[in-house]
Amino acid sequence: MSKQVVNTEGIALAAGKLRTSNNKIDSEFNTLAGKSRQLDTSWKSAGGDIARRTLQNILKNNDDRTKTIQNYVNMLQQQVDPGYKNTETKNVKLADKFK
């Protein structure tokens, strides 16, 4: 039977990096949304209307992306990392009883 090792520190580190990247992407999208609102008042044309609708769809889809990544980060931080540590601790205690 091969030995499997879970790098809990790596999981915690990766989750933190994902959270930071997600926040940076959100910040950039918020900046883009602000710039778009500034253009709304001055860009009056059919092309401007299409561009605004397209951008609004992209921004709307960003909310879904944000939630998906955030849910994944939460799962890593709240379930995988501590869950693995708790399971391993229990397994070691059980194994110690048979020594």
Per-residue pLDDT tens over the stretch 57-86 = 888 888 889 999 999 998 888 887 776 677
CA pair distance 90, 63, nearest whole angstrom: 39
Residue 98, domain member (yes or no): no
Q: 43 or 83, which is more confident? A: 43
Q: To the nearest whole percent, how much of the chain has pLDDT over 90?
A: 28
Instruction: For residue 59, give its domain range.
Output: 24-87
Long-range contacts of 33-40 (CB under 8 A, 24+ apart): 33/59
Residue 1: what pLDDT? 61
CA pair distance 88, 86, nearest whole angstrom: 5
Residue 83: what pLDDT? 67
Residue 40, domain member (yes or no): yes
Q: Is the pLDDT of residue 2 over 90?
A: no
Residue 23: what pLDDT? 96
- Structural domains in the chain (count): 1
Residue 17, domain member (yes or no): no
Listed ranges 12-16, 31-35, 50-54, 83-87; the one with the highest mean pLDDT: 12-16
